[in-house]
Amino acid sequence: MFRVYERFLRGDGPVELAPLADEMGVPPETLLNISEFLVEHRILVEDAHIGGRYTLAKHPSRIALQDLAQWLYTKEFPGEVLLLDSLGKTESCPLHDTGASELSAHRLLRAALHGYFSSFVGKTLESLCRDMFAGALSSSGPPDPCCKNSSESAV
């Protein structure tokens, strides 16, 4: 995402996945899977003329990180999402036939997830990248891997 963000801000063309996958040491199928997911949620758009190239579908200030985090969580943990959703509606645990009340572990998981998702409220891709780039440039330590001056950048 950071590479796509940088190119978007510079007005450069779309990012090509194959060279990016090589540079990052990631299987091309992995980047393709992620890109297709982001296209489905209207975060990225594929180049209409040359396949395998992507750019942001909208300005980074309009990409809400809370939505993105929730979509990714739902995609990666669909069973957990169903469990927690059903617990919220019935106040009983679907893992037990006895109708026992929600387990302490479920309450803790729900509270942890609420804290996690709350940390993204009001944040956008633009604010995240701006904060990360500013922190990397002002840091006295080694360059942040997300910084555009670094030799390795994240998607």
- Could you tell me the residue range of the domain that residue 111 belongs to? 65-118
Question: pTM above 0.85?
Answer: no
Asked, for residue 135, whether it belongs to a domain, the answer is: no
Using the CB atoms, write b or e for 108-147: b if 16+ within 10 Å.
eeeeebeeeeeebeebbbbebbeebbeebeeeeeeebebb
Among 43, 62, 81, the domain-final residue is 62
Query: pLDDT tens track of the chain, all 155 residues?
Result: 888 888 888 888 899 999 999 999 999 999 899 999 999 999 999 998 888 899 999 999 999 999 989 998 998 888 888 877 766 554 444 444 444 556 788 788 888 888 899 999 999 999 988 888 776 555 544 444 444 444 344 44
Quick check: is 58 in a domain?
A: yes
Within-domain flag for 127: no
> Residue 137 falls within a domain, yes or no?
no
Residue 11 in domain? yes
> How many domains, the chain?
2
According to DSSP, the residues that pair with 56 across neighbouring strands are: 44
Residues 50 and 81 in one domain: no
Residue at 13 is within a domain:
yes
Q: How far apart are the C-alpha atoms of 52 and 43, rounded to whole Å?
A: 15
HSE, side-chain direction, 13 A CA sphere, residue 141: 5
pLDDT value of residue 137: 52
